[in-house]
Chains A and B, each alone.
Chain A
């Protein structure tokens, strides 16, 4: 009689191998997904970290009294002063092309830096002062090592002569990379070295404010109605199906709605945070309602029965007892909804928040842009220097997303009650 085990053991081994393979499929799938996440965030953070630093160039500028009239200090031609400072630093430069290249080392913002200095302190007129100027984006990229400086001279952004100037400035310690404050304190700019995210950030904050103020109350009230008051009938079923489907409508369709209704029919100001907030509010409303309903459902019926039992009306029961208990859960859902709205880009493109806006908006009616839209705009720019700005803006956006989600988690942990 053959042993039954020797008979089945090859098959058993095969089956166990299949078992292990199967488990590894799952592990590999998770590894691929998380690996992609790590590579994506890691590489973007790596590129974006460059934008925290800014290259600056020190020049000694002779503030020529002949160029500045005493009664209109701010109107003088400061770019001329900066140019002559560069010329006197490199007296050997004579050809027109070379001079143009030389002036290109500092940002065109240098003239304004100088003007602000002189306006703030008119005593400087007639003196020679050392001032740090923001370098142009090309020089910035060169110093950060993002430009190729080998190969054919004509194909490069810096020819050997320019590299010589940079080298000589470097030897005098007249080139430094410093913390890039401008990135966090200024609005958008056509010049990558001057572009900042504050404008987009304020635009996003205003938009989200409008969005929250509209969708949170409406979402809560709708949830209270559906969960606490609505009888189960056809009409309320329709509302419910409708909300579930609305949550899955592509966001760009909400943008089309905003364009057709808020801009064309109501004539609200284009590109404004008001319209952006309205559109995002409509988009987040289903999420808010669904989250708020889940929070209300978690409040045990005994609370309601107790309140009703001592003579409260249904409205009193809900507003004095049920809703306050459900509020942390509702807020958590609201923050998650707002985090989604924070990253939303497509509907904002539809309502014109994609315009190039330098000023930092200070009301919900002014044209503005939003952080994700700013990322989209910068990602489209051809300049190499915008690449690190885009990545840095993405990191800022993701940090805020993480922050919002952390707040939501903390809120949930702090107020979560087991009944």
Chain B
């Protein structure tokens, strides 16, 4: 720089300004690091407690055991004093309820997304979309209450009238409530995806004489498939991690069963039941909740990462 005359007070001002800016900059960086800190905190706290648990219970027994009955011994020589920590019944229960939820939410969510994106007039779209989104905004504790109060008795009644034996806390009741809850998740994500399929593909298809339905089925859905499967994966991960609906509407007993009319329990239900009430932090019973937590965290994380990769890849394809 050449000769730029600056008065001393300006340069003094400038150093003060620089110092202040440095402080602000550090503040900004550290704020963004909080989010990383949270992830690290989750991983370490879960891993630490889970590690304590695996010192008491071998991990093979945890991952491949087929019986779940966590208990702390009252007497040393009690029968079953160890408790058994086989996670398979919980995993199967979680997958069963999530599968029911997805079986309900996928057709409903996709059909409404297609209708909203391709058929609805802008006016009805502006009304229907927010109303559907209310479903996503309602707290899950409300769905749980409704499932336990209305859906479960209804299924039980219908079942017994046709001679089926239905548990009062059937997997089906929790699955239905959960399915309705994730409809807006699938529909809004798929709606975005369908909208981002280029218009030229539609025009080409119409030009060849296809009807709108044929265009959607044969052109748009195949083109949007990666994005849609991403949204389905995200919805599955939400269903697996959902807690309140299953706590209120699904069972507590760990049955290894694939019958949707039986009572099954899930990973999240067990975490809640293990950690509410009195806890001692040296018992395998309490610590097993953290092992379940880390399992849940890993599974949902993997699903999310895959889903985001797919959606991102899809976006880039048409950008």
Binding site for B on A (CB under 8 A): 15-16, 18-19, 21-23, 25-30, 32-34, 36-37, 40-41, 43-44, 217-219, 221-222, 224-226, 229-230, 238-239, 241-246, 248-254, 256-257, 259-261, 264-265, 282, 285-286, 289, 313, 315, 319, 339-340, 342-346, 349-350, 352, 354, 372, 375-376, 379-380, 387, 390-391, 394, 397-398, 401, 405
Contact = CB atoms under 8 A, between A and B. Distances in A.
B27 interface: yes
B131 A37 contact: yes
B31 A225 contact: yes
A30 B129 CA distance: 10
B60 interface: no
A15 B211 contact: yes
B42 A18 contact: no
Nearest to B132: A33
B237 interface: yes
Given A15-B211, A249-B297, A349-B272, A261 B148 contact: no
Contact of B42 (A25, A32, A257, A379): A257
Interface stretch (B62-70, B82-90, B158-166, B240-248): B240-248
A340 to B, nearest CB: 8
A243 B35 contact: yes
Contacts of B80: none
Given A26-B112, A249-B300, A18 B39 contact: no
Interface string B208-223: 0001111011000000
Nearest to A29: B111
B108 interface: yes
Interface in B231-270: 234, 237-238, 240-244, 247-248, 268
A408 to B, nearest CB: 11
30 contacts: A29-B110, A30-B115, A33-B135, A34-B128, A37-B135, A44-B146, A219-B31, A225-B29, A226-B32, A245-B39, A250-B241, A250-B268, A253-B241, A253-B293, A254-B42, A256-B290, A257-B45, A260-B46, A264-B281, A289-B35, A315-B20, A343-B137, A349-B276, A350-B271, A350-B272, A379-B141, A379-B144, A379-B145, A379-B248, A405-B137
Which of A29, A387, A394, A397: most chain B CB closer than 10 A?
Answer: A29
Nearest to B110: A29
Given A248-B238, A256-B45, 7 more contacts: A19-B214, A22-B212, A25-B111, A30-B112, A238-B36, A252-B293, A253-B297
Secondary structure of the B contact surface, majority rule: helix
B57 interface: no
Nearest to B119: A23
Interface of B: 17, 20-21, 24-25, 27-29, 31-36, 38-39, 41-42, 45-46, 48-49, 107-112, 114-116, 119, 128, 131-132, 134-135, 137-146, 148-150, 180, 183-184, 187, 211-214, 216-217, 234, 237-238, 240-244, 247-248, 268, 271-272, 275-276, 281, 289-290, 293, 296-297, 300-301, 304-305, 308
A343 B140 CA distance: 7
Contacts of A259: 275
Contacts of A401: 137-139
Nearest to A315: B21
Nearest to B39: A242
Nearest to A235: B36
A350 B42 CA distance: 14
Nearest to A12: B211
B63 to A, nearest CB: 19
Contacts of B24: 315, 319
A345 B248 CA distance: 12
B305 to A, nearest CB: 7
A332 to B, nearest CB: 14
Nearest to A265: B45
B28 A229 contact: yes
A259 B41 CA distance: 12
Contacts of A26: 111-112, 114-116, 119
Contacts of A282: 38
A246 B300 contact: no
